[in-house]
Amino acid sequence: MDMRQIGIKLAMDSLGLQLTAETFTERLILQKSIYLVESAGLDLGYFFTWDLRGPYCRALAGDGTALMEELETDYDESKNWAFDEDCLAVIKNIRPLFESDDRSDLAQHLELLASVHFLLDRQQVRTPNPSTISLTLKEYGKPFSESEVRDALGELRHYGLITETQP
């Protein structure tokens, strides 16, 4: 288990999320969770680009698979590691974004949050206008409504992932 894989495991555990990559939904949750954790200020060493389902990192996909395989051996090297207080504070601040009993709903919600954040962060859209962002997302084949985007912007602001004036 390398340091980035340990970081994945610690982050997912700290978020209260089951770490699995058995289904597409679970892999989407992993991708968007780590993207949002990094966006909140916890650098785990991944670089994301735009993909069909929003921000995506090929290295994270590989590390997630390798991590799952290693955890199946019942040896968890991450038990010897812990986040410091600053890292835990970042996770604690955004943890409410990840609370859902329905994994499919969680995946869709995280996809929306991560996609809106990515478009603003990478200045794919110049203004945090729900209509503009919704239209841009629809151009990328994402059917998120203006009201869903408005709600996502509110959550991203509330948890400090974007500022009122961003970009």
Higher per-residue pLDDT: 19 or 146 = 146
Q: Which of 15-19, 43-47, 58-62 has the lowest mean pLDDT?
A: 15-19
- What pTM was estimated for this model as a whole? 0.94
pLDDT beyond 70 at 166: no
The percent of residues in the chain predicted with pLDDT above 90, rounded, is 77
Residue with tokens 């290693």: 70
| pLDDT 10s digits, 115-134 | 999 999 999 898 899 999 99
On whether the CB atoms of residues 114 and 87 are closer than 8 A, the answer is no
Domain boundaries, the chain: 3-158
Q: pLDDT value at position 149?
A: 97
